[in-house]
Structure 1
Amino acid sequence: MNDATTGVAMAVDPLVTRVLAPNPSPYTHTGTQSYLVGTTDLAVIDPGPDDPAHVQALLDAIDRRPVVAILCTHTHRDHSPAAAALKAATGAPVMGCAPLRVNGAGPGADAAFDPDYAPDRILQDGDSVAGQGWTLVAVATPGHTSNHVAFALPEARALFSGDHVMGWSTSVVAPPDGDMGAYMASLEKLIGRDDRIYFPGHGDAVENPQRLVRGMLGHRKQREGQILRLLRADPLAIPAMVARMYVGLDPRLARAAAGSVLAHLIDLRGRGLVHEEAGQWKSAA
């Protein structure tokens, strides 16, 4: 099970150490998990929120060893902001996902994103960084965000899956930046890989990743079918769909559920299956 003790370096693999940030919430589970990869020299994956106590916990775990790279899977505020402080403390370059500025959907659309993220190197799909006894290879996995990147560790047949695949919950895919079609394609991409374990941004390590990814694809297809059935019966606005689809939902997650429904609707509209008129969504069938 996932030990929820924050600030403590925990070995989860001979090459991987985890440090949990003190930011639990309905969206982050027990908190954001930062990972140290390597033994002699290190990479840090997802340094986490800009929290001095968490940065110090990472420095304690690093224990004066050289840091080759600070890598970020994406730029949500619980994953990348500590990169700047960690770079200042270690001198390591920041790399991984591209910076992102979200436009559209009104004021505050980009509030969840880190506006100060400034990578020294952007890793494209297949690019790599290496240290003594380890290699990290970028695996582009857009969907949760358009700039999301996972990192494969071939020496352990492991994948640092960020928020794309998590053991505790499905990923939030919410417009304007979240893209359901891209998310589904990224899940399909992972099915074609042979990773034995995922280390996610939140929640337990995933020890049977192929089965989980297939289940996530099935879950999304079920949601898609549910939306189509509802709209074949009646035109509906998104709040009405959320109420029918997510019975018993924690009210704190209502916004995320609405975003997920919208992401499905945008994908379905792009495929010619639904359309919108004055805030009401209708089946094209």
Structure 2
Amino acid sequence: MAESPPGIPQPLEPLVTRVLARNASPYTHTGTQSFVVGGSGAVAIIDPGPVDDVHLDALLAAVGDRKVAAILCTHTHRDHSPAAKPLAERTGAPIIGCAPLTMDDEGPRADAAFDIDYRPDRVLADGEAVAGDGWTLVAVATPGHTSNHLAFALPESGALFSGDHVMGWSTTIVSPPDGDMGDYMASLDKLLGREDRVYYPAHGDQVDNPRRLVRGMLGHRKQREGQIARAIERGTHDIPAMVAVMYVGLHPKLLGAAERSVLAHLIDMERRGIVRREGATWQRM
């Protein structure tokens, strides 16, 4: 199903409505997708997005005269969680979901800096839930993109709100020091073992065959690891040179993200005894 324009509520199924924020970029695709979950009674809002009064008004218009029972955040990059605070002030709803995380991020995407003002009223651990009128949202810990990333399962319909862990348009950025490739791969394996009917990601179209996509993402990352290993064997030992070989034709604005991804792979390979670091260069073990 194609996305509606920013600010226009788009019903996806009886319990789910999508509202697109106005923050399109090379790293957010068409923007952050917020979700209103619920029927005629109280609702939850997932990933309220960046602070933007127009987007907040659109979310509240989608809610209408229903009560907002909970505001949930998958993680605390600032294209996802900052609007939680003003939304809570306007609705009185508690902020529930991922743990707070504040750190310096040397990654390439300015929109993904961490939200230093995020203060949840309740943090959900893996398997914990929040429920409302005819809906339940169960936390599924999916670290990797960030260490505090959660997805939310809606057992009433078989949907999973996958945040940035699995997106509908691109693989996610895994940017050290907080992003962790080993955790990301383990979280993909975890999702592969589930039987969710559909994913609603924070960026891009809904995913109607989620297990097939997850298998493809696992295969893609394993292929990247193989490319890195072969590049080192052929004498390419620093990250910019690896990216030049592996990402031919990549848009210059995305080079930084590619370098962070390769670094994440190398750190994971180092932990597993495949490569070793020598200053700014990498060698096979």
Deviation at 1:101, TM superposition (A): 1.6
For 1:194 and 1:38, how far apart are their aligned partners in 2? 22
Q: Which piece of structure 1 moves more, 55-64 or 140-149?
A: 55-64
Residue 227 of structure 1 corresponds to 228
Residue 112 of structure 1 corresponds to 113
Kindly, what percent of the aligned residue pairs are identical? 66
Change (3 A) 1:74 1:233: same
User: SS of the residue aligned with 1:260?
Assistant: helix
What per-residue deviation string (whole Å, max 9, x for no partner) do you get for residues 186-236 of structure 1?
000001101010000000000000000000000000000000011112141
Deviation at 1:110, TM superposition (A): 11
For 2:220 and 2:125, how far apart are their aligned partners in 1? 29
How many positions carry a matched residue from both structures?
A: 283
User: SS of the residue aligned with 2:176?
Assistant: coil
Deviation at 1:102, TM superposition (A): 1.9
Residue 62 of structure 1 corresponds to 63
Give the alignment of 1:205-244 within 5 angstroms: 205-244=206-245
Segments of 5+ residues of structure 1 without an aligned counterpart are none
Residue 8 of structure 2 corresponds to 8
For 1:90 and 1:109, how far apart are their aligned partners in 2? 29
Residue 252 of structure 2 corresponds to 251
For 1:271 and 1:110, how far apart are their aligned partners in 2? 32
Change (3 A) 1:223 1:105: same
Segments of 5+ residues of structure 2 without an aligned counterpart are none
Residue 163 of structure 2 corresponds to 162
The answer to whether the 8 A contact 2:127-2:140 is kept is: yes
The answer to whether the 8 A contact 2:4-2:10 is kept is: no
For 1:243 and 1:216, how far apart are their aligned partners in 2? 22
Residue 20 of structure 2 corresponds to 20
For 2:36 and 2:212, how far apart are their aligned partners in 1? 26
Q: What is the alpha-carbon root mean square deviation over aligned residues?
A: 1.6
User: SS of the residue aligned with 2:217?
Assistant: helix
Residue 275 of structure 1 corresponds to 276
The answer to whether the 8 A contact 2:78-2:111 is kept is: no
The answer to whether the 8 A contact 1:101-1:110 is kept is: no
For 1:252 and 1:119, how far apart are their aligned partners in 2? 33
Given residue 129 of structure 1, which amino acid in structure 2 is its aligned partner? V
Given residue 60 of structure 1, which amino acid in structure 2 is its aligned partner? A
